[in-house]
Structure 1
């Protein structure tokens, strides 16, 4: 009988179209330094599409907060090189957070242009949806800039509907769970 290499829960090895292998896994505290280092490799437009405004750097405080999600109300994943946390370059980050006193959660995803368009965003989003369904939430939503067509197309393909917001240029995508 063959021995299988089993990965821990929420860990998946994927191969991109360019042959590169990535490990999708829960974020770890050791990811803070590579996240901060990799932030400088992002294009200003990538940062703006995720944060909805210009951010020059990922501060130590922001990295600390991102890498220490509250397991009761938050879940965060990275798409990284298959190396130990702290050593692996991170190419994508996805986070979902339950809105206090509701059965709704808000998501955010950032995928570097180096691996954009290769299905990483879809893989991350599917896992956020799965986590949200496991928490028996009513809906999952995110605010997306109107010009972020890749994210709007991805969300539509996964069954999200569009809602208008009070902020010009911003669209809310909502998935009823």
Structure 2
């Protein structure tokens, strides 16, 4: 499932943000991703799109959501923590894992 934020209408419309979740067959995990247009980061759009995808996964009965980012992606890590995700940073691997139990 994906949620797409669009600015403008018709030929003047443009995608400004996307959240998506890929739920496994057992419905135990949904791998999520969020993309926000660079000039709109930090304005609350990521929070809105994250809430949409969390609510969708909860309604589907998914057990947890998970994602991965770089340890330097402070915006994503801060948003994830504010939304209740546990964050585990692995500097040696250059990754940060984010997990949110939904049940």
TM-score (norm 1): 0.53
1:28-76: CA deviations, max 9, x gaps? xxxxxxxxxxxxxxxxxxxxxxxxxxxxxxxxxxxxxxxxxxxxxxx10
Contact 1:96–1:107 (Cα < 8 Å) also in 2: yes
The match for 1:69 is none
Matched ranges for 1:77-156 at <5 A? 77-84=3-10, 87-156=12-81
The alignment's C-alpha RMSD in Å is 1.7
1:94-150: CA deviations, max 9, x gaps? 110102334110000110112111000000000000000001011001101100000
Q: What displacement does 1:87 show?
A: 4.9
* Structure whose CA Rg is larger: 1
Contact 1:142–1:172 (Cα < 8 Å) also in 2: yes
1:141 partner SS:
strand
Q: Does residue 163 of structure 1 match 2:96? A: no
Structure 2 spans left out of the alignment, 5+ residues = none
2:25 partner SS:
coil
- Distance in 1 of aligned mates of 2:7 and 2:86: 33
How many residue pairs were aligned?
A: 101
2:93 partner SS:
coil
Contact 2:71–2:89 (Cα < 8 Å) also in 1: no
Higher strand fraction (1 or 2): 2
TM-score (norm 2): 0.89
Contact 2:27–2:61 (Cα < 8 Å) also in 1: no
